[in-house]
Amino acid sequence: MSVKIGMVGLGYWGPNLARNLQATPGAELYALCDADTDRLQRVGRQYPGARLESSYTALLGDAKLDAIVLATPVATHFELAAAAIAAGKHVLVEKPLAVSTSQCRELVTRADAAKLILMTGHVFLFNSAVRVVKKYIDEGSLGRIYYVYSQRLNLGVVRRDVNALWNFAPHDISILNYWLGAAPLGVNARGFSYLQSDVEDVVFMSLDYPGGIGANVHISWLDPRKIRRMTVVGSEKMVVYDDTSAEARIMLYDKGFTKQALGNFENFSEFQLLLRAGDVLIPKLDYSEPLQIECRHFVDCIQTGKRPMTDGEEGLRVVAALEAADRSIRDGGRRVEVDQAP
């Protein structure tokens, strides 16, 4: 039996989710919901079989509905997700899961108590290129990981409800946590507002991960180029993930330094660093739309009862880092420890 899903929020990202839900095996795009009736009618014309509903409360009262997908403003995530759980519906919430760790914990607790699926929309974890980098790290191809740096830049879309940190950084933090298998311990962040007062357009953020791994994230919606690039530097090899590249999304560099002992090799406290520059590998990727894979995963978790890879606790870990970064920005860039509680 197909999973009947209601798509709530048809602004920027909602139509993309609706398109993929419609194409997901085992799913039925049962309903579309948006308070803007003109937008609801416009998007609804593409899905003549879907119920159109401007009232979220009325939608939740439909006993035939199995699940809700939320792509609404961030400030509404907690209230709408909590209402869906109370109504007995599984929930996929677009990133970030909520605006605070306390709200995230409450959603996790309620979903677990009700035995419902709670999933966070960290779509890049379903990207085949991101998964290839994870494979390189886990199998030791890169050696010891030294540091990672990321750039997520564009000219627009400028948001009013959240700053660039809360808009873009959930992607980078979720990828970093996935690659490194841990949450950050602390963060320093500086943000700058140019277009709107108290809404940061650009943020520079440094994160400390276990094992001495450093990460630097530069995010902005006020930049002349669209860049989505992450670089992982290891002791043996280095890898660049460029999400905007059509032909070289992953580039694996056999570059680094090798230590060579000096003298008679009896005292290894003295050595020289020799530069090593080998081949560059561009692996072939079997690429599928990450959003389609995410939607399939959500439906599969509902049907099988397994816990999502991007469950509520993963959403909580990302929001904990965002909260710490926000506090650091407000306090002039001082280091703030990240809440590690699950």
CB distance 30 to 24 below 8 Å: no
Average per-residue pLDDT in the chain?
Answer: 95
Do both 165 and 246 map to the same domain? yes
The predicted structure's pLDDT at residue 13: 95
Task: Dump strand ranges (E) for 76-235.
Answer: 90-94, 118-121, 145-155, 186-192, 202-209, 213-220, 222-234
Least confident of 12-21, 31-40, 166-175, 251-260: 251-260
How far apart are the C-alpha atoms of 308 and 329, rounded to whole Å? 32
Residues facing residue 273 across a β-bridge: 259
pLDDT digits (tens, 9 = 90+) for 151-190: 999 998 999 999 999 999 999 999 999 999 999 999 999 9
The reply to whether 160 and 72 lie within a common domain is: no
Number of other residues whose CB lies within 10 A of the CB of residue 82: 17
- If residue 259 lies in a helix (H) or strand (E), which one and from where to where? strand 250-261
- At 74-105, the pLDDT tens digits run 999 999 999 999 999 999 999 999 999 999 99
The answer to whether residue 331 scores a pLDDT higher than 80 is yes
User: Is the separation of the CB atoms in 23 and 58 below 8 Å?
Assistant: no
Across 143-149, average pLDDT = 97
Residues 6+ apart with CB under 8 A from 135: none
- The answer to whether the beta carbons of residues 235 and 144 sit under 8 Å apart is yes
In a domain, 115, yes or no: yes
Strand 118-121 with 90-94, pairing:
parallel
Q: pLDDT tens-digit profile of 113-138?
A: 999 999 999 999 999 999 999 999 99
Sheet holding 118-121, edge to edge: 51-53, 27-33, 3-8, 67-70, 90-94, 118-121
Q: State the DSSP H helix or E strand holding residue 31, giving kind and residue range, or none if neither.
A: strand 27-33
What's 232's domain CATH number? 3.30.360.10
Residues 75 and 108 in one domain: yes
Average the pLDDT over 104-111 and give the result. 98
Residue 342 maps to a domain: no
Rounded to two decimals, the pTM is 0.94
Do 101 and 229 have their domain in common? no
Instruction: Catalogue the E-assigned strands of 262-317.
Output: 271-281
Per the domain annotation, does 149 fall within a domain?
yes
Whether 177 and 300 share a structural domain: no
Q: Is residue 315 situated within a structural domain?
A: no
Same domain, 271 and 173: yes
| Same structural domain, 101 and 161 | no
Which long-range contacts does 35-39 make (Cβ < 8 Å, 24+ apart)? 36/10, 39/10, 39/11
Report the candidate in 303, 309, 310, 306 with the shortest Cα–Cα distance to residue 121: 310
> How long is the chain?
342
27 pLDDT above the threshold of 90: yes
Instruction: At 196, give phi and psi (nearest 5°).
Output: -140, 140
Query: For position 32, which CATH number holds?
Result: 3.40.50.720
Same structural domain, 50 and 119: yes
pLDDT band at 261 (very low <50, low <70, confident <90, very high): low
Domain count, the chain: 2
One domain for residues 68 and 156: no
Element (H, E) at 70: strand 67-70
Report the pLDDT averaged over residues 42-52.
97
Residues 111 and 58 in one domain: yes
Print the domain residue range for 60. 3-124+290-310
For the chain, how far is it from start to end, CA to CA, in angstroms?
34
Closest CA to 312 of 153, 143, 134, 95: 95
